[in-house]
Amino acid sequence: MRDSAVDRLYLRSAIALAEKGLFSVTMNNPRVGCLLVKNGRVVGRGWHREDGGPHAEINALNDATEDPRDSTAYISLEPCCWEGRTSACTAALIDAGIARTVIAGRDPHPRVAGGGVRALLEAGIEVTEEDLSKEAQALNPGPGKRAEHKRPFVRIKTAISMDGRTAMADGQSRWITGEAARADVQYWRARSAAIITGVGTVIADDPMLNVRDQRFGNAEPIRVVVDTRGRTPPKAALFGEKGRVVIACSKGVEPIDRAEMWELQDGPNVDLPMLLDALSELGCNEVLVEAGATLNGSFLKQGLWDEMIVYVAPRLMGETAKPLAALGFNTMGETVSATVKSVETLGPDIRIIYTP
């Protein structure tokens, strides 16, 4: 009789391995970990290290300290069963003679979605599904969102005062929060495939929108500026950093050096659903919106968000300062509601994470 408690213990170790790819696997693929266990001993460990590279199962098999035949593979996500940029992991597990697999949850990708489990069962490999999908999916909100809605997982990040203000009337916002909160932002940037801001923020704050904390490796999110009329200054600080810069604009805007011009117009403005669809098609799993009141308001009113990260600083900025979002509601029925997911103290500030 199988010991479910032992299975879950090993499976949580596989999930911990998957977390090693948190800042290097941001495009296309999910973050996955794999543990090979034979005769009560771990004989191989692997995780998906980078986009386009070998999957976790392949890395675990290559890491095996002895013949993995007849071992159990603990995998944080159902193994893929189709060949893309890499070969199918189910085929590798079958060829290696794996006797049993234990997975934390099914892969939502339409090309897998139960097909991996079927392939293993048809090959005579025992498959056990332990319901640790919430723990595994916390590392992979993006692939599921893209599979179901063809859009990345969207986080809106903002810093506010106690009276809900994000910048002074002239646009000045450095610094509302303390060092601990600003350091925490680096984590969210590093795990994102793209960072979206508005041209107003670029003009007012001239942000670099990069990942400066070396703990997160060489993460280089795509920097996207929503700029309908092409007002981004050619010497903006974000052009001085490595990586791609995208200007989401209307048709006919003059090209800007070092930027990719994406014409995504809907009426007078940039079409945000079209922008998210384009980023999903590119392979972006998670995106972070770091913008001002106007763009924040657009994402919120259109329901184009999955989490909101709000850093609240213990200061008052006054009624003339700018709000979190420009919404212009007139009735309670129009308002945006949210649920508190978590609350944490960071130095003098508080971080609140909301979900719709």
Q: Are residues 171 and 258 in the same domain?
A: yes
Q: Give 96-126 pLDDT, tens digit per residue.
A: 999 999 999 888 776 777 788 899 999 999 9
Q: Are residues 153 and 284 in the same domain?
A: yes
How many domains is the chain partitioned into structurally? 2
pLDDT given at position 355? 95
pLDDT given at position 168? 75
| Tokens linked to 355 | 């979900």
Q: Are residues 152 and 218 in the same domain?
A: yes
Task: Out of 139, 160, 194, pick the residue that ends a domain.
Answer: 139
Any idea what the CATH number is for the domain that residue 94 is in?
A: 3.40.140.10
* Amino acid symbol at 192: S
* Amino acid symbol at 47: W
Q: Are residues 186 and 327 in the same domain?
A: yes
Query: Cα torsion for 175, 180, 183, 184, to the nearest 10°?
Result: -110
Q: Which of 50, 57, 66, 241 is catalytic?
A: 57
Question: 84 is in which domain, residue-wise?
Answer: 4-139
pLDDT given at position 85? 66
Q: Are residues 195 and 52 in the same domain?
A: no
19 assigned to active site? no
Residues of the chain with pLDDT under 70: 1-2, 84-86, 110, 171-173, 266
Q: Identify the CA nearest to 199 among candidates 259, 274, 276, 153.
A: 259
Task: Out of 81, 110, 139, pick the residue that ends a domain.
Answer: 139
Q: Are residues 133 and 166 in the same domain?
A: no
pLDDT given at position 280? 97
pLDDT given at position 171? 66
Contact present, 54 and 88 (Cβ < 8 Å): no
Q: Are residues 214 and 343 in the same domain?
A: yes
pLDDT given at position 317? 85
Q: Are residues 96 and 238 in the same domain?
A: no
Q: Are residues 82 and 219 in the same domain?
A: no
pLDDT given at position 263? 93
Taking residue 258's Cβ as centre, other Cβ atoms within 10 Å add up to: 13
Average pLDDT, the chain: 90
Where helices occur in the chain by DSSP H, the ranges are: 4-18, 56-63, 89-95, 115-122, 133-137, 141-149, 179-190, 199-205, 272-282, 293-301
Any idea what the CATH number is for the domain that residue 176 is in?
A: 3.40.430.10
Q: Are residues 14 and 30 in the same domain?
A: yes
pLDDT given at position 350? 96
pLDDT given at position 84? 65
Q: Are residues 198 and 119 in the same domain?
A: no
